[in-house]
Amino acid sequence: MGAGRRRFVEAVRALVDAAIVAAPDLADTDLDAAATHLEELAARLGVDVGAGRGERARTEAVAGHADYLPRSPLVGVASPLAPPFAWRAGTEGLEATGTFGAPYEGPPGYVHGGWIALAFDEVLGMANIVAGRPGMTARLGVHYHRPTPLHTPVTIRAAVDHFSGRRTVTTGELHADGQRCATAEGLFVTIGPERAARYFAARRSRSDGA
């Protein structure tokens, strides 16, 4: 991904944050003027804001995990929806670090539990890939020990616990401010190429314009 796209994504990410925490004393005329600029920019990028998003989909081919991760909702550097988290793999599993900002708020001052579950699903799945056990989520259980604070560095660690045949059980922990905020256990199932084709071929063809 080029530097221009990275800069663009960062700017959109900052704009999403600004839309949520915009100062209440901003004049409506200022916000309306900003909206006009954004609509003009969207038009330049081929998007009609008034028409909605429709079924616009990615046009690039997705051959493997390396093609998907830049668009990940957690670690994706190409996704304005992602915080994003940085990650690294080691002999004991995978570790992801990052900070949840205003767009991820649930209870005042804390991360929405749904985002915590999403983060675990993503990090546990990545740990499986690193361990050579890629699979689809069959079950995910999350135990919320305490609220996870916003604007605070968060660490998520995950590792494969055990596996048998096509089934893999992976566990993870989320820490913030030195405290364990949540833990998770997921069951993942490896699918063969035939089933993968049934699940994804039609959508991939639509994205390619077929």
Measured distance CA(85)–CA(126) in Å, rounded: 13
pLDDT at 55: 54
pTM of the model: 0.84
Measured distance CA(150)–CA(158) in Å, rounded: 21
Percentage of the chain exceeding pLDDT 90: 60
Is residue 64 classed exposed, middle or buried when 0-12, 13-18 and 19+ CB atoms within 10 A define those classes?
Answer: exposed
* Most confident segment among 16-20, 49-53, 66-70, 134-138: 134-138
Measured distance CA(59)–CA(66) in Å, rounded: 16
Write down the architecture of domain 65-194 according to CATH.
Roll (3.10)
pLDDT per residue over 61-83, tens digit each?
A: 555 566 678 899 999 998 999 99
Domain ranges of the chain: 3-51, 65-194
pLDDT at 52: 57
